[in-house]
Structure 1
Amino acid sequence: MAAEQPIPVYTNLNDLYGSLGTSLNHAEKWNTVAEEFQRRFGRKPAYIARAPGRVNLIGEHIDYCLFGVLPAAIERDILIAISPRPNHQEHAPGSVVAENMHTKYIRQVFAPAPRRRASISEEEVHMEEWHLDINTKELRWESYIKAGYYGVLVNYFAGGGSPVPVDILVTGTVPAGSGLSSSAAMVVGSTLAFLAVNGKLEPNFTGTGPQISKGQLVEMAVGNEKRVGVNSGGMDQAASVISIPSSALYISFFPELSASAVPLPPGAVFIIANSLVVSDKAVTAKRNYNLRVVETLAAARILARSLGIKVAKDEKVTLREVVGRLAGEVEEVGEMPVEWLSETLQRMECEAERLKPRNATEDGQLGVTMEEMIEMSGLSTEEFNQVYLSWVKVEATHFQLYKRAKHVFSEASRVLQFRQTCLSAASEASNPSTEPPSPIDVVRNLGRLMNESQTSCDQLYQCSCDELNELTKISRDAGALGSRLTGAGWGGCTVSLVLESGVDDFIKKVSESYGPFKDLKGEALNEVIFATKPSSGACVYKFE
């Protein structure tokens, strides 16, 4: 399986460039960061870690509910050059000098602080924890670097030993707050860079030692990003790490992380357009992202209780787990067949009606108050707060349990339909005994699913915004067969499915119709609207 493969460590740039795609000049970018590192620090880097951004083709806000999603890595990425500091005995253990090639970010210097654990266990007497100051209220670029570093410290230096002091240089082409997962790419790249420079990525000279798999890196990166205040479901990190060229990636999180390639149909490309509305999901999390996480978790418990499904008092059961228990799924056997899951999802879209307020309101309010939600859960106020609110801050007068669950179940169903459409088309095209489906019919079907997803994101999950709604409408009018927001929403990017022959005309029409694009030309326009080929996942280049 793809998740079990090791992280690629290249020593030949031709092999590395060949894995990244062809629409960008990767060689120029990698040479530039190596030369800039040499100029600033007086020596070449020991490693460059790469982590791509991602575009989610369909499956929004369902990964943390443990339903499968369909992202693809893009060619735009984060690069982190790193090298041990000479005479490292003269520096504090693990100290970091971090610079960013973007001029708006200033140099940062920090060091982890070891501290003894308050434990009387003999096994833990000599264990150490580490502390790094990460400000989750005022999110800064180096917070993502620290988050990745912290995961390496607690996983590989808790039992003794000291990380080496390093210099690092960061650059990237994934726009921040755009919905292309620049934050996950930063954390994945940081984690990889610190693993590599501390000798934790490759087997040692005896052929033993750590050989970290892609799946292990994903799990570590998910935990690391939570340290900046975002409760990520894992889709962003998995797409950044596990993706392969020319395919989308079907990522399933239940009963465990798994990933498989989904070949995309020929004749159409995906075009990304940035609404230029910046969405900082860490800053707005209590009203947006983290609130949605709590709403889906509470909805899962309440649905389970209504359907007679047993849930432990301290369990944060997910909507996917409720579906599995309702269908009699056995976790030890693996994920239920797709047909079985699809049928159960259709039923759950109806069962979601149970989440509406018991008493109709004059204004048609479909949400419930905190008091109503707690009563519906069957828990006491203290129990509910401990399970659902003790670990996260949220703000809401009404919790939209019905709308969130309705979106999750219908979106999970659309993902399965999208995946099956691609797989069936690829299978029939390769079978000489059957007549292949019309490529345009396949693409139109995928576009229809994308449009339905956008409507659901806007009306049920309420994670769109006026600019995204306008941009998706303009995109469809310009010839897109499907257009939807991608990423967490509330700003950021759209992804549109466009026939390959109409890409230039599409970009011209959108740039002339969407207000913020009208005065942009050349490279400035290319930064906000561009076609991208599915790229490979994260990797490391080792300088010899």
Structure 2
Amino acid sequence: MRLADQSIPVYTNLTDLYGSLGSSVNHAERWDNLAKEFEKRFGRPPAYITRAPGRINIIGEHIDYALFGVLPAAIEQDILIACAPRQPSDNSQEIHERPGSVVAENLNPKYTRQVFAPSQRAPEGWHLEINTNELRWESYVKAGYYGVLSRYFPPDSNLHPTPVDLLATGSVPSGSGVSSSAAIVVASTLAFLAVNNRRTSGSTDAPLSKGELVKMAMENETRVGVNSGGMDQAASVMSVNSSALYITFFPILNTSPVPLPSGAKFVISNTLVVADKVVTAKFRYNLRVVETLVGARILAHKLGVKLDIMEKVTYREVLGRIVKEQQDCGSDGDMGAGSLIVALKSIMRSLTHLLPKGVDANAEGDEQQMGLTMEEMIEMSGLSQQTFHEVYLSWIDVEATHFQLYKRAKHVFTEALRVLQFRKTSLDATDASPSLSLNPSTSLEKLGNLMNESQKSCRELFECSCPELDMLAKLCREAGAYGSRLTGAGWGGCAVSLVAEDQVEIFIKKIKDEYPPYKGLKEEQLNDVIFATKPGSGACGMCFLRFLRLLS
């Protein structure tokens, strides 16, 4: 059975959840403290604790919303939410007593107590006030709630959501590029599903599948103003212990574990630059989404691919139509890795269609000359101004004078190729047949080189790096990493480095000593900003955890 089709399991102890007794003992104190603090604050024990991990994206940056495959992995750091239904008082007018009201608290004292209740407005249905202009922790909780309200409480059903108390805690650093936002949206969605006893798909009595949860979480996160491609949510929900997760999105969401060569660990190092996706989305993340989608439309138009006038086609779909791909082929949900590699290499020659007239892709000079004005984009798309605006700008807020379609496309296609090469190298290195498997050291060097190429592309073509990330990745390579690159959306956050397992402690000490922003930090603080990890289980192994005394 595909991972996406599997139902969300119920666990009753941390050993099963984390996969080994040693790991569960390390986490038990934190879980028990959350449960005890919930009881202290709300006067009763939690009924459920939900958990969603952060993730690293090993390789495959900013290509998920182009529907190309990516290769993330869950990390040990996570978001935990303890929750329990609350009995409202009769005829009370207080907001915390209204149907479906939420009292949300956080163990981190910088996040204040929040009380809110959903309301119904015609014709859009349920409403929760979310300020998309600033980053607030409860906005992600509300985003998770939206999906449950919309899916399980139709406005004309006379069904009312259960009032709930919840207490959150997290070890995923916010704004660091390891997907704290997706983790809290997933954990919140699960918490509201749990307290409302909604564990089915909604349309049928079948259990809610991991794939459906991913789609819900993707839709939910758009409520905070970020248009995610689905990688973060899929990694948080469907990751498998000890493996990376190859995720494809076309023609359907599909995932498969990719065992990694032995002898190395990933080291996550935080630049300490906070990447606030919500505040900067219109000229960073969301702008890249629009540049990628418009580029796909123009490339299709120039190459004679027929499109519906209102269609927001992606690069992956354009590539498939060019090679006349049959959507039902390939066990990975696409044309097959080998054919896809050939197609990716072939399409590179056509990307010059995305340049302004008379511009040479190899010419040196002002980088802005490679970008298109809004007027040039509209003309090249073959759409009217009104239709173009409706398809590409009416649903998203972006800000730019020139749109770098060529550079973004070159990154997308070369990065998609690197993902497939990384996957193949990993599978070859872990092949069950000793005669076919690659030398682990050689494999790790190949994987490291692909990570380094990815960082260069993110810096020069997609322009989603920053000086601190560039410095940190360079220091990591000089300290002995096979490869180092940004992970997450970029513009700050973390670098991920592939490091020989027997060199991890030496490597971490070098980075602690040499990265300037780390100077002056106490050892406990340093341990939070740079740490080693191996791929871990996703929220699919920790959802709907009915509360038990964790240390009994």
Structure 2: how far apart are the matches of 1:22 and 1:65? 37
Q: How much does 1:130 deviate?
A: 1.1
Q: Equivalent of 2:403, from 394, 399, 406?
A: 399
Question: What's 2:433 paired with?
Answer: 431
**Which stretch of the first structure deviates more once superposed, 353-362 or 287-296?**
353-362
Match of residue 234, structure 1, among 216, 226, 230: 230
Match of 2:352 in 1: 353
Shift of 1:42: 0.9
Does the alignment pair 1:188 with 2:186?
yes
1:188 counterpart letter in structure 2: V
Match of 1:198 in 2: 196
Alpha carbons of 1:190 and 1:526: their partners in 2 closer, same or farther (altered >3 Å)? Answer: same
Change in 2 beyond 3 A, CA 1:139/1:210: farther
Does 354-363 or 31-40 show the bigger shift? Answer: 354-363
Residue 50 (structure 2) aligns with:
49
Partner residue in 2 for 1:123: none
Aligned pair partner of 1:98 in 93, 104, 107: 104
Q: 1:24 to 1:261 in 2, by over 3 A?
A: farther
Q: Per the alignment, do residues 270 and 33 of structure 1 end up closer, same or farther by CA in structure 2, a change over 3 Å counting?
A: same
The match for 2:394 is 390
Q: How does 1:440-479 map to 2 (within 5 A)?
A: 440-479=441-480
Question: Hey, what does 2:207 align to over in structure 1?
Answer: 211
Identity %: 63
When residues 19 and 191 of structure 1 are mapped into structure 2, their CA distance, relative to the original with a 3 A threshold, is farther
- Give SS of 1:22's match: helix
Say if 1:272 and 1:375 are closer, same or farther in 2 by CA, change over 3 A: same
For 1:246-285, what aligned pairs fall within 5 Å after superposition? 246-285=242-281
Map Cα deviations across residues 91-140 of structure 1 (whole Å, 9 max, x no partner).
2110000001000111000000124548xxxxxxxxxx211111111221
Q: Deviations over 1:298-341 (max 9, x none)?
A: 10011111111111110000000000001111224451021111
- The answer to whether the 8 A contact 2:464-2:489 is kept is yes
**Aligned twin of 1:126:** none
CA distance in 1, matches of 2:37, 2:534: 28
Checking the alignment, whether the CA contact within 8 Å between 1:88 and 1:165 is kept in structure 2 is no
Corresponding residue to 1:110 among 96, 104, 116: 116
In 2 relative to 1, CA 203–290 (structure 1 residues): closer, same or farther, beyond 3 Å? closer
Tell me the CA shift for residue 258 of structure 1: 0.4
1:322 corresponds to which residue? Answer: 318
Q: Which moved more, 1:260-269 or 1:195-204?
A: 195-204
**Secondary structure of the structure 2 residue equivalent to 1:509:** helix
Task: Return the TM-score normalized by structure 2.
Answer: 0.93
Distance 2:55 2:38 in 1: 26
Show CA shifts across 1:158-181 (max 9, x none).
Answer: 133111111000100000000000
Map of 1:125 onto structure 2: none
In the alignment, which residue of structure 2 is the partner of 1:121? none
Shift of 1:6: 1.1
Residue of structure 1 aligned with 2:240, choices 230, 244, 267: 244
Kept in 1: contact 2:88–2:98 (CA 8 A)? no
Residues 2-53 of structure 1: per-residue CA shift (max 9 Å, x gap): 1111112112333224369839821111111101101111110000000000
1:147–1:380 Cα change, 3 Å: same
Deviations 1:346-388, CA, capped at 9 Å, x for gaps: 1122211111111339735211111111111111111111110
Give the TM-score taking structure 1 as reference length.
0.94
Structure 2 stretches lacking a partner, 5+ long: none
Q: C-alpha distance in 1, partners of 2:200/2:24?
A: 30
1:343 is matched with: 342
Task: Supply the distance in 1 between the matched residues of 2:386 and 2:44 (Cα, whole angstroms).
Answer: 57
Change (3 A) 1:424 1:157: same
> Following the alignment from structure 2 to structure 1, what is the Cα–Cα distance between the partners of residues 225 and 101?
23
Partners of 2:489 and 2:123 in 1: CA distance = 37
Deviation of the 1:286 alpha carbon: 0.5
| Partner AA of 1:401 in structure 2 | L
Q: Report the secondary structure of 1:331's partner residue.
A: coil
Paired with 2:135 and 2:476, the residues of 1 have a C-alpha distance of 32
* Secondary structure at 1:250 match in 2: strand
Residues 251, 260 of structure 1: 8 Å contact kept = yes
* 1:462-486: CA deviation from partner (whole Å, max 9, x where unpaired): 0000000000000000000100000
- Where do 1:119-158 residues align within 5 Å? 129-158=125-154
Aligned: 1:289 with 2:293:
no
Counterpart CA distance in 1 for 2:185 and 2:436 is: 46
Output the CA distance in 1 between the equivalents of 2:22 and 2:265: 14
Question: Contact between 1:83 and 1:197, CA under 8 Å: does it hold in 2?
Answer: yes
Q: Structure 1: which amino acid aligns with 2:194?
A: A
Does residue 363 of the first structure (1) align with residue 359 of the second (2)?
A: no
Where do 5+ consecutive residues of structure 1 fail to align?
A: 119-128
**Which aligned pairs between 1:526-537 and structure 2 lie closer than 5 A?**
526-537=527-538
2:144–2:221: 8 Å Cα contact kept in structure 1?
Answer: yes
Rounded Cα–Cα distance in structure 2 between residues aligned with 1:198 and 1:209:
15
Partner of 2:481: 480
